[in-house]
């Protein structure tokens, strides 16, 4: 019983800390909820049909309770990313207005189209770190004409959080000093993630441009990159890299 009470206390303290972080650091951090579906490869067409139908109904009724950007990766993960201001927003049923407009039976039928398409899905929070992000012309998640994405996950031990942040800041400083045009955004893991990681999101027009930009950037940074990236590598537990695309037709934003 004592262990259970201690666990509950720690969970409450963690929630309070996350609320404080969002409130106090909204000029440095932007929180997002992520809903992630791991879609069966054979069910991708049906899944996208269901996702498209949901977006169409949201638009038809101009539901204002939520919005999201959508990304699909090369390993059939679909990520729906929504900005939030505080943890209290997690208590809201964002589809309740749509359910009310459509009726419970019709809404249930709409959502049932997703059920056969995956065996694993879930929700978590990430934070865009504006101080570590390198986009000197202004931060945006949707660079014009650049829907192709590379996502690099850099995992590290929680005890090295401060050191890793310093190492990532040094990478940004190097890019800035060289006036690199290979821009990126940095997201850090938050509530609902078992692992500690930074995720680097890089945009390009297509895979060819991505490789061209990367090669040009490597040449630009030159030998100065070795020690800087070496510090990140030295603190890393593992790296994971995925590619994917932004999916504007599966995204949703209400009309004003």
The number of CA neighbours under 13 Å toward the Cβ of 115 is 6
Higher pLDDT, 17 or 117: 117
Q: What is the mean pLDDT of residues 27-51?
A: 96
Query: In which band, very low, low, confident or very high, does the pLDDT at 204 lie, cut at 50, 70 and 90?
Result: very high
Section 63-90 average pLDDT: 94
The C-alpha atoms of residue 71 and residue 185 are separated, in whole angstroms, by: 15
- Percent of the chain beyond pLDDT 70? 90
Closest-CA residue to 201 (of 132, 253, 254, 248): 132
The rounded distance, in Å, linking the Cα atoms of 25 and 243 is 30
Average pLDDT over residues 33-38: 97
Say whether 63 sits in a helix, a strand or coil.
coil
Q: Annotate 70-122 with DSSP letters as a single string.
A: EEEETTSEEEEEEEESSGGGGGS-TTHHHHHHH-HHHHHHHHHTTGGGEEEEE
Q: What is the pLDDT of residue 91?
A: 84
Q: What is the pLDDT of residues 81-114, one digit of tens each?
A: 999 998 888 888 999 999 999 999 999 999 999 9
Q: Do 219 and 26 form a contact (C-beta atoms < 8 A)?
A: no
What's the confidence (pLDDT) of residue 26?
64
Q: What is the pLDDT of residue 3?
A: 39
Q: What is the pTM of this model?
A: 0.88
What is the reported pLDDT for 176? 98
- Which CATH number among 3.60.15.10, 3.40.50.1100, 3.30.70.100, 3.10.310.30 corresponds to the domain 2-125+246-250? 3.30.70.100
Domain boundaries, the chain: 2-125+246-250, 128-245
C-alpha distances in angstroms, 141 versus 70, 94, 128, 248? 11, 22, 10, 12
DSSP state of 229: H
Q: What rounded mean pLDDT belongs to the chain?
A: 91
Domains 2-125+246-250 and 128-245 share a fold: yes
Query: Is residue 149 a contact partner of residue 243, using CB atoms and an 8 Å limit?
Result: yes
Question: What was the pLDDT predicted at 234?
Answer: 98
Residues 6+ apart with CB under 8 A from 220: 178, 180
Mean pLDDT calculated for residue range 232-240: 97
Strand, helix or coil at 39?
strand
Which listed CATH number (3.40.50.970, 3.40.50.300, 3.10.290.20, 3.30.70.100) goes with 128-245? 3.30.70.100
| Of residues 124, 115, 36, the one with CA closest to residue 75 | 36
Tens-digit pLDDT profile for residues 114-166:
999 999 999 999 999 999 999 999 999 999 999 999 999 999 999 999 999 99
């Amino acid at each position: 019983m004592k262990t259970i009470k201690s666990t509950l206390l720690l969970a409450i303290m963690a929630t309070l800390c996350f609320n404080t972080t969002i409130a106090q650091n909204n000029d440095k951090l932007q929180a997002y909820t992520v809903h992630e579906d791991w879609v069966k490869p054979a069910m991708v067409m049906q899944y996208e049909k269901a996702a498209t139908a949901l977006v169409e109904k949201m638009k038809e009724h101009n539901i204002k309770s939520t919005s999201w950007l959508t990304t699909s990766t090369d390993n059939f993960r679909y990520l729906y990313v929504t900005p939030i201001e505080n943890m209290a927003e997690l208590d809201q049923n964002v589809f309740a207005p749509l359910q009310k407009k459509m009726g419970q039976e019709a809404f249930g039928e709409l959502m049932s189209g997703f059920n056969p398409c995956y065996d694993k899905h879930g929700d978590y929070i990430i934070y865009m770190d504006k101080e570590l992000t390198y986009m000197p012309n202004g931060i945006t998640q949707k660079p014009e004409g650049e829907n192709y994405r590379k996502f690099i996950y850099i995992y590290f031990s929680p005890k090295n959080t401060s050191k890793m942040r310093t190492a990532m800041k040094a990478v940004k400083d190097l890019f800035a000093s060289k006036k690199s045009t290979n821009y990126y955004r940095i997201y850090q893991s938050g509530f609902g993630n078992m692992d500690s990681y930074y995720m680097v999101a890089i945009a390009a027009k297509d895979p060819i441009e991505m490789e061209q930009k990367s090669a040009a950037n490597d040449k630009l940074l030159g030998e100065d990159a070795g020690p800087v990236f070496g510090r990140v590598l030295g603190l890393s537990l593992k790296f994971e890299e995925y590619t994917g695309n932004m999916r504007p037709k599966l995204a949703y934003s209400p009309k004003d």
